[in-house]
Amino acid sequence: MVAVSDHAGDPLLRFNERFASVLVAAGFPAMPARVFVAFLISDSDRLTAADLAGMLRISPAAVSGAVRYLTGVGLVHKERVPGSRRDYFRMPADVWTEVMRLQSQVLVRWAGLLKEGAGLVGAGTPAGARMTAHTAFFEFLNTEIADLLARWEALEKER
């Protein structure tokens, strides 16, 4: 990532770097994190690769890789505007719901692997008991996330 000091005169770029660094610390790749935050801070509901490159002062190649990652995980959608040869990208309005759904999918995979591991080492062993407890925790979290998202969606409909 670009050092924060490189953007000392631009508070939005400094904010982008700070927010992106939090996403990176959570496991997000660096350039997709910066592009993701650019969508958050933009007033426009859709941006071109050139828009993103200009906003972030990065190369078109860096933008290309970042939007490929973001579209691949469903955090950004690619669209065409009739009569234009440019690709436009937009962030879905419910992007944070999508982030939580992605996290929930990770929990399901972890729980499945832990369950498999417990079966391999034997449920009656200390390792098996530990993995069984971890499986139950991830299954609980996954159920709670689903319930929270359902409540959130109901709340959103009331607004």
Helical (H) or strand (E) element with 48: strand 47-48
pLDDT at residue 8, as a whole number: 62
Dist CA 52 CA 22 (whole Å) = 20
In sequence order, the β-bridge partners of residue 87 are 80
| E strand or H helix that includes residue 43 | none
Burial of residue 36 (CB within 10 Å: 0-12, 13-18, 19+) is: buried
pLDDT string in tens for the chain (159-residue length): 444 445 567 899 999 999 999 999 998 999 999 999 999 999 998 999 999 999 999 999 999 999 999 999 989 999 988 888 889 999 998 899 988 988 899 999 999 999 999 999 999 999 999 999 999 999 999 999 999 999 999 999 998
What pLDDT is attached to residue 99?
87
Please give the Cα distance from 48 to 127 (Å, whole number): 51
